[in-house]
Amino acid sequence: MIGFIGLGIMGSRMAGRLLAHGHALIVHNRSQEKAEPLLNQGARWAASPKEVAEHADIVFTMLANPKAVETVAIGENGFLDHLAEGSLWVDMSTVDPSFSRRMAQEAGKRNVRFLDAPVAGSKIPAEKGELVFHVGGKAEDLEEVRPLLECMGRAVHHQGEVGSGTAMKIVINLMLAQSMAAFAEAVTLGEALGFDKAHVVDTLLGGATAAPFLRGKRDKIVNGDFEPEFPLEHMQKDLQLVAQTAFEQNVALPLANAGKELYALAKQKGYREQDFSAIYQFLKDR
């Protein structure tokens, strides 16, 4: 049986893909109500991460941040102490590479295998099974789980040893955060110069300078509707992971740190649960 812990925006849809492909699932989420749609589709409920481990030999986690992963894995009623030896834990959460290596060690102490397998793509790709996985860990462990990843994603890239999946993921999200913020500033300036918002947005999107993902943010910005696909608080978290990792690598990232504080200010001002494209609205409302 497959265990799945963390049924937020991404996890609920990814677990739904596994169910739709006919896999038996036992699921857990801190807030039980988010599991209801999956339970109606045939998933079994576990009252704790520990209970997931008692029934599963592969456990997927898709959780908010390192603290959430640590709590669920090795906190009270965590799953790691209760998995059978030889089981496989696949952490798909966006965390930092040092943390992934530490979790791999914790798993190894209990003879549990570990892969870090964070994803690129957001709510809609998760729903459609079109995510892109960046995986760190042993090739044979990846091959074992590849058919399951392919239920949830359109591509699976083996980046190398443990921690290299999350390493690539935070490199990608550094670009994501900064491209969004730069776009938001450009639109804000365009409007201040008297251009209609939709006109500036469409002019930028029609040129060579805008990142391709920004087309998916067009309507959110033009209509001022920031229903979350990727919550802003997670983007700030990812920039914090970037800054921490840059420190560990002795790399200076001046713009990333400025961006991190921009998202932190937006988070404090009430944009925490909105889509990260609401960074535009934060700049406008100031």
| Catalytic sites, residue numbers | 169
* Minimum distance from residue 188 beta carbon to ligand NAP (Å): 23
**Residue 7, interface with ligand NAP (CB under 6 A)?**
yes
Q: How many Å apart are CA 231 and CA 240, to the nearest integer?
A: 15
* 242 CB-near residues (< 8 Å, 6+ apart): 170, 173, 174, 253, 256, 260
Q: Please say which residue, 22 or 212, places its beta carbon nearer to ligand NAP.
A: 212
Q: Please say which residue, 11 or 129, places its beta carbon nearer to ligand NAP.
A: 11
**Residue 156, interface with ligand NAP (CB under 6 A)?**
no
**Residue 164, interface with ligand NAP (CB under 6 A)?**
no
| Residue 12: count of CB within 10 angstroms of its CB | 22
The residue assigned the tokens 């100031």 is 286
Answer for which of 10, 107, 170, 242 binds ligand NAP (CB under 6 A) is 10
| Residue 156: count of CB within 10 angstroms of its CB | 20
Q: Please say which residue, 127 or 161, places its beta carbon nearer to ligand NAP.
A: 127
Which one-letter DSSP state was computed for residue 230? S
The amino acid at residue 34 is K
Q: How far is CA 71 from the centre of its chain?
A: 17
Answer for which of 71, 179, 244, 257 binds ligand NAP (CB under 6 A) is 71
**Residue 146, interface with ligand NAP (CB under 6 A)?**
no
**Residue 119, interface with ligand NAP (CB under 6 A)?**
yes
Residue nearest to ligand NAP (CB): 8
Q: How many Å apart are CA 151 and CA 119, to the nearest integer?
A: 13
Alpha helices in the chain (DSSP H): 9-20, 36-40, 49-55, 66-74, 97-109, 123-128, 139-152, 164-192, 197-205, 218-223, 232-249, 254-266, 279-285
**Residue 64, interface with ligand NAP (CB under 6 A)?**
yes
Answer for which of 220, 234, 260, 267 binds ligand NAP (CB under 6 A) is 234
**202-231 footprint of ligand NAP as x/- string (CB under 6 A):** ---------------------------xxx
Answer for which of 87, 93, 166, 236 binds ligand NAP (CB under 6 A) is 93
- Asked whether the beta carbons of 191 and 285 are under 8 A apart, the reply is no
- Asked whether the beta carbons of 90 and 60 are under 8 A apart, the reply is yes
Q: Please say which residue, 153 or 200, places its beta carbon nearer to ligand NAP.
A: 153
Residues that bind ligand NAP (CB under 6 A): 6-11, 29-31, 34, 62-64, 67-68, 71-72, 93-94, 119, 122-123, 229-231, 234
